[in-house]
Structure 1
């Protein structure tokens, strides 16, 4: 294993991506718990994905999607207000995986936490997933938290 340039450095900032799914909620719980344990700032990011078919998105729909993501982040921030972790929220537009990695770089995150839905191996092999793409492209450690509703047995 080749050491990374960040090996051995303390984790001071954690980026967690959320989309409101069960897997994202599990990742958020993991990130918040870790942030509280090690006194790290937790950045909560929601991405407005308009990259699938840009022609089908008019400006009104994009604004509605962005409003929904802003509401999601605000709800998260209100819910975690009582916790011991310092939490910051953001909403960005773009392709989810690259936006997550870019935002991690922008804020100088030391760790990324993402949820992984229970996709089949075939779907993941053919299409990839946001979590898989983040793991492959991030230059910092990534924790992938499985969807708690997915039975792995």
Structure 2
């Protein structure tokens, strides 16, 4: 089964990675696409940087950095993966990545580093759930995280 794992580097997004690892330990044959979506530069960033290529490089580096902890978990479990760093609206870009890589399932955290944005504009995971053509598993944070 080909699974898309969108992560933003937060501990909560890593819960989705751990969930997929448990699925593999239980015997599910998986192929993973590890993805990070960077939001487009805002007007201030464009005005300050003056160089669109610089913004693209910084965005790509930030995306690769956000994948680091998830890559370490997958490497330790000897799970092979493809990776993708994209730029755009997070929910729709996640759905596009799933379609492009022909993923059969999306597994993602309930909320991540952009919790404030999600609270104000609607949950990315909720948008993916409604827009995706494949099943979506939303992994909630552990109880101890909810209690904090």
Distance 1:79 1:25 in 2: 9
Q: 1:57 to 1:34 in 2, by over 3 A?
A: farther
From 66, 76, 79, the equivalent of 1:85 is 79
SS in structure 2 of the partner of residue 15 of structure 1:
strand
From 112, 127, 138, the equivalent of 1:133 is 127
Contact 1:15–1:45 (Cα < 8 Å) also in 2: yes
SS in structure 2 of the partner of residue 81 of structure 1:
helix
RMSD in angstroms over aligned alpha carbons? 2.4
SS in structure 2 of the partner of residue 91 of structure 1:
strand
Distance 1:56 1:38 in 2: 46
1:33 matches 2:45: no
> Aligned-pair distance for 1:46?
0.6
Distance 2:129 2:91 in 1: 9
TM-score of the superposed pair, with normalisation by structure 1: 0.76
> Aligned-pair distance for 1:74?
4.3
State the number of aligned residues.
Answer: 136
TM-score of the superposed pair, with normalisation by structure 2: 0.79
Q: Which runs of 5+ in 2 are unaligned?
A: 47-51
> Aligned-pair distance for 1:62?
4.2
SS in structure 2 of the partner of residue 80 of structure 1:
helix
Distance 2:72 2:125 in 1: 26
> Aligned-pair distance for 1:30?
0.9
1:146 matches 2:140: yes
Question: What corresponds to 1:76 in structure 2?
Answer: 70
> Aligned-pair distance for 1:55?
1.5
Structure 1 stretches of at least 4 aligned residues deviating more than 6 Å after TM superposition: none
Distance 1:151 1:74 in 2: 27
